[in-house]
Amino acid sequence: MNRMFIANLLVVAFIVPAAAQDDLSGRYVVSIVWGDGTLYDVLQLEQKGDNLSGTYRGNPLEGTRHGEVIDLTSHNKQGDGDTMHLIAKGHVLTGTDTPFDGSGHIKQPPVLAVTAVLAASPPSAGQTREFVPTQFYHAFSATTKPAMTIMPGDTVHTTTVDAGGTDANGIQRAFGGNPETGPFFVQGAMPGDTLAVHVIRLRLNRDWAISDDYLDGRSVDPSLAVTQKDTGKTIFWHLDLDGGMASAEKPDTHLRDYRVPLRPMLGCVATAAAAAFPPPNSGDSGSFGGNMDFNEIRADATVYLPIRAPGALLYVGDGHAAMGDGELNGNGLETSMDVTFRVELIPRRRTPSPRVENADRIMALGYEGSVDDSLKIATSNMANWLTSDYKLNPSEVAQILGTASQIRITEVADRNAGVAIIIDFDRLKGLAAGQ
Contacts of residue 86, Cβ cutoff 8 Å, sequence gap at least 6: 16, 17, 18, 69, 70, 71, 72, 93, 94, 95, 96, 114, 116
The residues in 33-52 that bind its own copies, with binding defined as CB under 8 A, are 34-37, 39
Q: Shortest Cβ distance from residue 199 to its own copies (Å)?
A: 18
371 binds its own copies (CB under 8 A): yes
- Type and span of the H or E element at 231: none
Q: Shortest Cβ distance from residue 142 to its own copies (Å)?
A: 11
The residues in 70-109 that bind its own copies, with binding defined as CB under 8 A, are 101, 103, 105-109
Which of 303, 371 has the CB closer to its own copies? 371
| Interface pick for its own copies out of 240, 278, 300, 360 (rule CB under 8 A) | 278
Strand stretches in 205-261, DSSP E: 208-212, 234-240, 245-248, 260-261
Mark the segment that binds its own copies (CB under 8 A) among 52-60, 66-74, 152-160, 399-407.
399-407
Which of 70, 265 has the CB closer to its own copies? 265
Q: How many CB atoms lie within 10 A of CB 160?
A: 29
Say which amino acid occupies 353: S
Q: How many CB atoms lie within 10 A of CB 94?
A: 15
365 binds its own copies (CB under 8 A): no
d(CA 122, CA 329): 45
- Per-position DSSP letters for 147-168, written without gaps between them: SEEE-TT-EEEEEE--TTSB-T
Q: Shortest Cβ distance from residue 97 to its own copies (Å)?
A: 12
Which of 47, 351 has the CB closer to its own copies? 351
187 binds its own copies (CB under 8 A): no
350 binds its own copies (CB under 8 A): no
272 binds its own copies (CB under 8 A): no
Helix residue ranges per DSSP H, 194-344: 222-225
329 binds its own copies (CB under 8 A): yes
Q: Are strands 417-424 and 81-89 parallel, antiparallel or unpaired?
A: unpaired
Q: Which among 146, 158, 140 is positioned nearest to 184, based on CA atoms?
A: 146
Which of 137, 341 has the CB closer to its own copies? 137
Q: Shortest Cβ distance from residue 182 to its own copies (Å)?
A: 12
390 binds its own copies (CB under 8 A): yes
| Interface pick for its own copies out of 48, 124, 170, 348 (rule CB under 8 A) | 170
- In terms of Cβ atoms closer than 10 Å to its own Cβ (0-12, 13-18, 19+), residue 203 is middle
Q: Shortest Cβ distance from residue 389 to its own copies (Å)?
A: 11
Q: Shortest Cβ distance from residue 80 to its own copies (Å)?
A: 12
Q: Shortest Cβ distance from residue 162 to its own copies (Å)?
A: 8
Report how far apart the first and last C-alpha atoms of the chain are (Å, whole number): 45
Which of 68, 213 has the CB closer to its own copies? 213
Say which amino acid occupies 122: P
169 binds its own copies (CB under 8 A): yes
Which of 21, 399 has the CB closer to its own copies? 399
Which of 307, 397 has the CB closer to its own copies? 397
Residue 172: what are its φ and ψ, rounded to 5°? -80, 125
* Per-position x/- string for 204-223, each x denoting binding to its own copies as judged by CB under 8 A, each - no binding: ----x-xxxxxxxxxxxxxx
394 binds its own copies (CB under 8 A): yes
Q: How many CB atoms lie within 10 A of CB 140?
A: 31
| Interface pick for its own copies out of 325, 338, 344, 349 (rule CB under 8 A) | 325
By the 8 A CB rule, do 205 and 338 touch?
A: yes
250 binds its own copies (CB under 8 A): no
Helix residue ranges per DSSP H, 182-310: 222-225
| Eight-class DSSP state of 174 | S
Q: Shortest Cβ distance from residue 211 to its own copies (Å)?
A: 7
163 binds its own copies (CB under 8 A): yes
| Interface pick for its own copies out of 3, 48, 66, 250 (rule CB under 8 A) | 3
403 binds its own copies (CB under 8 A): yes
Q: Is 254 helix (H, G, I), strand (E, B) or coil?
A: helix
d(CA 106, CA 95): 22
| Interface pick for its own copies out of 5, 62, 113, 300 (rule CB under 8 A) | 5
The residues in 230-249 that bind its own copies, with binding defined as CB under 8 A, are 230-231, 233-236, 246, 248
Rg of the chain's alpha carbons, rounded to an integer? 24
Q: Which among 256, 136, 111, 269 is positioned nearest to 196, based on CA atoms?
A: 269
Question: Residues binding its own copies: what is the number (CB under 8 A)?
Answer: 156
Contacts of residue 418, Cβ cutoff 8 Å, sequence gap at least 6: 285, 292, 293, 294, 365, 366, 367, 374, 409, 410, 411, 412
8 binds its own copies (CB under 8 A): yes
